[in-house]
Structure 1
Amino acid sequence: MSSKFEKAVAYVQGLDKQGSGPDSTVKLEATTVGDADPTKEPSRLQFVERAKWVAWNGIKGMSKKEAEENYVKQLIKYLKEKHPEEPILKELEA
């Protein structure tokens, strides 16, 4: 696990505790787990669970390393758009 990824996760978790973290769309785009199990696809009536599964399925075949790098990229993108003066942004871009 890269130190940038660890910093990104800690940063987002800290924001979540404050109630000011990225919205669920950003979090779904930053999924870091492996392939989704096609036999466990949630019903269309299970909105949150299905959104998570669809995001998870969207990165099928991506390695853990690639998923972690994607997580950091998505956080950088979010910070540039919403909080460009955030100090961690420079650390993540380095």
Structure 2
Amino acid sequence: MADLKTQFDAAVADSKNLPEKPDNMTLLKIYALYKQASSGDVDGKRPGFTDMVGRAKWDAWDAVKGKSSDEAMQEYIDLIESLKD
């Protein structure tokens, strides 16, 4: 477990230094997996229609609802690794 958390923390640091900025859909996936790994399932109400960014983030996080923290961490690590190449 600690090893996965260490890898996750390293991937979070790496995500800030990617060679290219990922497209918006990839950024939403990164955000959703990070939130799921660190906070668990999304809660609260979906943002209103006027908050397009907040709504997109909420929807992305909601799409990974039910994943365990470990699953989300591993997917996050794998995604960041794939973007580093």
Q: Please say whether Structure 1 and Structure 2 have the same fold, judged by a TM-score greater than 0.5.
A: yes
Q: Tell me, what secondary structure is at the counterpart of 2:8?
A: helix
* Residues 14 and 80 in structure 2, CA contact (< 8 A), matched pair in contact too: no
Look up the match of 1:63.
68
d(CA) in 2 for partners of 1:42 and 1:48?
A: 9
Structure 2, unmatched stretches of 5+, are none
- Structure-1 separation of matches of 2:81 and 2:17: 16
Q: Which residues of structure 1 form unaligned runs of 5+?
A: 85-94
> C-alpha distance in 2, partners of 1:78/1:25?
13
Residue in 2 that maps onto 1:35: 41
Q: Which of 10, 34, 38 is equivalent to 2:13?
A: 10
Please give the secondary structure, in 2, of the residue aligned with 1:61.
Answer: coil
1:2-36 deviation per Cα after TM superposition (whole angstroms, max 9, x unaligned)? 22211110111245xxxx54344222112222211
The 3-state SS of whatever aligns with 1:26 is: helix
Calculate the aligned-residue CA RMSD, in Å. 2.2
State TM-score, norm by structure 1.
Answer: 0.65
Is contact 2:11-2:77 (8 Å) kept?
yes
Aligned: 1:22 with 2:26: no
- The structure 1 residue matched to 2:57, chosen from 47, 52, 55, is 52
